[in-house]
Amino acid sequence: MASPYTLWREGGDASAPFIVCAMFTRGYEAKAERLVASLGSLAHTIFEVPRVHRSISEGGGADLEFSKPRFINFALRHFRKPVLYVDADVIFRKAPELIAALCDEGCDFAVYNWLADPVNDAWLTDGRLWKFFFSVDVASDSQLMASGAVQLWNGTDAAFALLKDWEESLERHTRSEDDHCLDYAYNHGDRSGLKPRWLSKDYCRYAFWPYVDPVIDHPEFPAPITGHFQSLGAERFVREKMRRTNKQQPFPRETMLDAHGLQLMRQRPDGGFTPIGPLSLQLFLPKAD
């Protein structure tokens, strides 16, 4: 049976312990080119697809062949080695040494998990000043709240079982995002045989984390959620396995960050801003390249 994925670019060291895989539609070709240019000698195969699943984009269709779990399943079986799935709009800034180490450890699955991260404050900018946006101030030792632009998968029975449950979650929740459906699948299934690890923010650095030096960078801010997607809300999690917690704050949330003057700012009643001290952390401002 012919593959629904069209080979577009491949290269790198074929003897590497893992392969980077991505899929994109024609409108994302420039970003796919940018991704390939950043990969250097990393083994990679990039596929073009005619469309993506509706869980990825509001313009997507119902064909699960173009969903993330089906594509990752294909890549694992085709290449017979661990697959580092990435969204086509990320950029590799440094060698992803952690990924090879996780493969050596026999990790089945790795992704960024908001619940496991003690520092996850997100910030937005107007071009000069950054303002606190949101944080996830709940935690769990066994639950997942993923940001899935970067995911490591190994071809084990436990990993294939999670992919199957993820695909079933997409079928069950027909208007929900792929990350939410992955959370649901992970949190409501039997994961006793799975060996997961949680990626640090630098391996999935979104633009709203300017205080993180990226290894794998998502330099644009994520698109706002539209009415196309239906939130799973608390249904994503097993409530009894969640707890409230006080996450660490990289900067005081009531202040603003002056990215050019490298100062903390406080807004005055007249609308102006007063510097109150230097930044305690270095900023790594997102670059569109």
pLDDT mean over 7-12? 97
- 151: domain range? 6-118+144-223
Is 199 part of any domain? yes
Cα–Cα distance measured from residue 251 to residue 279, given in angstroms and rounded to the nearest whole number: 8
Is 96 part of any domain? yes
Neighbours of 264 (CB within 10 A): 20
Per-residue tokens: 256: 């603003």
Is 281 part of any domain? no
Q: Of 66, 88, 69, which Cα lies nearest the Cα of 77?
A: 69
Cα–Cα distance measured from residue 25 to residue 264, given in angstroms and rounded to the nearest whole number: 41
Give, as one character, the DSSP assignment of residue 15: T
Is 106 part of any domain? yes
Query: What is the C-alpha end-to-end distance of the chain, expressed in Å?
Result: 39
Which CATH number belongs to the domain containing residue 24 in this structure?
3.90.550.10
Is 257 part of any domain? no
Q: How many domains, the chain? A: 1
Is 254 part of any domain? no
pLDDT at 289: 74
pLDDT at 49: 97
The pTM for the full model equals: 0.95
Q: Please report which confidence band the pLDDT of residue 58 belongs to, taking 50, 70 and 90 as the band edges.
A: confident
Q: Tokens 């079982």 sit at which residue?
A: 161
**Contact at 8 Å (CB) between 50 and 157?**
no
Is 265 part of any domain? no
pLDDT mean over 244-267? 94
Q: Percentage of the chain surpassing pLDDT 70?
A: 98
Is 285 part of any domain? no
pLDDT tens by residue, 211-242:
999 999 999 988 766 666 888 888 999 999 99
Is 285 exposed, middle or buried, given 0-12, 13-18 or 19+ CB atoms closer than 10 A?
A: exposed
Is the pLDDT reported for residue 208 higher than 70? yes
